Chains A and B, each alone.
Chain A
């Protein structure tokens, strides 16, 4: 297969995933109980049945499901995501406003998690049990601490007591530190655990003896040889990392009062706000497809054995 054909296939696969995700979201949302108009009105509405019917008709919710689906696909193909039922704004505007804060938060958290996680793993893999236990303890505590706790804790110490970082607001990069920490530390814990496991497996391989026989020691051994093997399993973890970031963003944005797709997701899903959910799913699926694409490109770079077809 030449490169063009492969690229075309990858793009087609990606489009397939995005389409599938949108479809799944569409039907999922129709399965979510409750009437969209009711939910829009909320718990304290003064609605009359007429108003209710009008809203239903206006949103096209009275049509049969398949025709709603076709209409939905039609709009989708034109890149028309429509307006939010609840917020009444064009979905693109909402996504546009909220995408960057979440993306920057996610990236910052990811970088932090990668650095802290791999550092912790490298520093302790194959070392004395006491060290390993200590590292493992912090990692697992981070993993099993809910992000709202972690966020509140970090805020209490670093913002309220020490005044190092603001809670939120338009203060640029300093306002990103604590949220990224909150989102990133549990991830770092996961990464450290997985990478350490992989490092320790690698450190027992025969080629490690050869490498040591060349005068490589401690750090060099880990960085130059073992880490590559760890990176390979890390790449496999992208799905998890992606999900944790998208999922964790909700709570972190809530605690820090940050704008972002996370809080938008919760309100859109719970309010059955179809256009927004669709938009979010599209964004999320596209991002995932891109991330997996990058991973698919990176994986054979890290592990050359993947570059050839497997026979038998």
Chain B
């Protein structure tokens, strides 16, 4: 470890949110330092205060901040007024916000958003701005950046948006990069490239505060790891040490829950003769000149889990929407439990809706901002066929996804990313569906919760015969839960087969690439 002068030093940071009903102490007495060219990873369970800590480094926590000291290379940040902060933000400290899907202004082009930091701080002459944006997008791993510059956020897939955010943050070459889950929506190959980029930046002297629940990612880049729990730092030390010999039980629990790629074929769990619940035949959908889904077919049997992996922007979400009957394919058709499901009037779909439910890739956007969690769940419970005590059921659903019943009265905007995602899962389960379409259902969850949720899904499938289309870029997760896996690239399914087989003996070039890019955790030394 170099004994460098710390670039950032935080001591005694406290953040509280006060509303009329309750006071939430999101961050309590957090202290750490970070030197230039080093990376500190903040890990911890969902809702432990990671994002709030990150935001308070830019003076954007939204709550009441008290800090003994918050210094950046000698500048005392906690004394800054709004003007002072403005000079720091973007230029000296850049932020990649957690929710990539809503962090870009929907009315401005990607180019304008990415170039903004550079322009605001007048870092390059106007004439060279376009070049700079182009370079930044390419560095962030966006293929064909030229064509993306003039597009708008809603035209990008989740992964592309996340990379655009990263490009925007790195464009101004800040001294400190605060990256809040910068790779959640990325497939492993792109993730690999992004981590490379971060490593290069680090080598060039940028300090990085990385927040991630993906410990493998953390292992690949962090010099130090700090573990947060209920707003407190419970463990802090060199990455290697923390990963190999975790001191705090909380850290140990996190590590234990990390899913790993199967080493040998597991027996198929779905009975092969089970009836088909969802059948997708030769569907295709085009956006303008881009063929988002191109002649895709698959069948989903009762109690079967089909994993869907693939490059970001390859059409996974679009396919999920088609399967869910929210978008009609240009060609091909979908059948749900023997009923025609695509290209039929909504009236005919409605009675069947409760049988197929989804966890959206963008849970924040899928909640009516006016409704508290209770109302959100209630609506779904009412849509289920059964009569039951709705309040009890709501509490039960929250319990199922590991959330306290106190959340029922909170509005989605005050929840942490993981809390939101779990609410989304709870809602999808409320109608007791036969088919669940999960679009990155666990990407925002810390590993222990993730394990818990995966266990829950597995149980539902075992006990109720729930079938699932499971989209994730996390091959470990997919491998753990799926019977069969489809690999998508550029709108087509390039390979499919039983999970174990596919991961051990990939045939397609791209699948091999994917597998090679999976980050690995160092082996724990406890064993």
Chain A residues close to B by CB (< 8 Å): 205-207, 209-218, 220, 224-225, 228-229, 232, 302-305, 308, 311-312
Contact = CB atoms under 8 A, between A and B. Distances in A.
Given A210-B105, A213-B94, 15 more contacts: A206-B364, A210-B95, A210-B165, A213-B90, A213-B95, A214-B117, A215-B91, A216-B89, A217-B85, A217-B86, A228-B105, A228-B108, A304-B106, A305-B106, A312-B326
A312 B350 CA distance: 13
Contacts of B326: 312
A279 to B, nearest CB: 40
Contacts of A212: 58, 60, 89
Interface stretch (B68-76, B96-104, B510-518): B96-104
Given A210-B97, A303-B107, A308-B287, A216 B120 contact: yes
B88 interface: yes
B104 A207 contact: yes
B379 to A, nearest CB: 18
Contact of A209 (B60, B88, B154): B60
Given A209-B60, A213-B95, A302 B107 contact: yes
Nearest to B86: A217
A215 B108 contact: no
Given A210-B97, A215-B121, A217-B83, A304 B154 contact: yes
Contacts of A229: 107
A229 B105 CA distance: 10
Nearest to B285: A311
Contact of B107 (A216, A220, A228, A308): A228
B108 A209 contact: no
20 contacts: A207-B103, A207-B104, A207-B105, A209-B55, A210-B104, A212-B58, A212-B60, A213-B95, A214-B94, A215-B87, A216-B120, A217-B82, A218-B82, A220-B120, A228-B107, A302-B107, A304-B154, A305-B152, A311-B327, A312-B326
Contacts of B107: 225, 228-229, 232, 302-304
A304 B154 CA distance: 9
A207 B108 CA distance: 11
Contacts of B152: 304-305
A215 B165 contact: no
B89 A213 contact: yes
Interface string B265-290: 00000000000000000000001100
A215 B117 contact: yes
Contacts of B328: 311-312
A225 B95 CA distance: 18
B103 A206 contact: yes
Contacts of B97: 206, 209-210, 213
Interface string B195-229: 00000000000000000000000000000000000
B91 A210 contact: no
A312 B120 contact: no
A305 B154 contact: yes
A205 B365 CA distance: 11
Contacts of A214: 89-90, 94, 116-117, 120, 168, 172
Interface of B: 55, 58, 60, 62, 82-83, 85-91, 94-95, 97, 99, 102-109, 116-117, 120-121, 152, 154, 165, 168-169, 172, 287-288, 326-328, 364
Contacts of A209: 55, 60, 62, 97, 103
A311 B325 CA distance: 11
A213 B83 contact: no
B86 A216 contact: yes
A62 B264 CA distance: 97
Contact of B60 (A213, A228, A302): A213
Contacts of B102: 205-207
Nearest to B103: A210
A144 to B, nearest CB: 29
Contacts of A217: 82-83, 85-86
Contacts of B109: 304
- The 8 tightest CB contacts between A and B, nearest first, are A215-B90, A214-B90, A213-B95, A215-B89, A217-B86, A304-B152, A214-B117, A206-B102
B290 to A, nearest CB: 12
A228 B121 CA distance: 22
A251 to B, nearest CB: 37
Contacts of A220: 120
A213 B83 CA distance: 13
Contacts of B88: 215
A267 to B, nearest CB: 45
Nearest to B95: A213
Nearest to A220: B120
Residue picked from B105, B106, B108, B326, most chain A C-beta under 10 Å? B105
A213 B90 CA distance: 6
A228 B62 CA distance: 24
B136 to A, nearest CB: 13
A146 B290 CA distance: 55
Contacts of B99: 206
A214 to B, nearest CB: 4
Contacts of B85: 217
A197 B60 CA distance: 22
Contacts of A207: 102-106
A232 B107 CA distance: 10
A216 B89 CA distance: 8
Contacts of B55: 209
Contacts of B168: 210, 214
A81 B105 CA distance: 50
Contacts of A305: 106, 152, 154
Nearest to A305: B154
B54 to A, nearest CB: 10
A212 B95 CA distance: 10
A225 B120 contact: no
Contacts of A206: 97, 99, 102-103, 364
A211 B60 contact: no
A308 B287 CA distance: 9
Contacts of B82: 217-218
Contacts of A312: 326-328
A206 B108 CA distance: 14
Contacts of A303: 106-107
Contacts of A211: 105, 116
A299 B99 CA distance: 27
Residue picked from A206, A214, A228, A305, most chain B C-beta under 10 Å? A214
Residue picked from B95, B116, B168, most chain A C-beta under 10 Å? B116
A220 B122 CA distance: 14
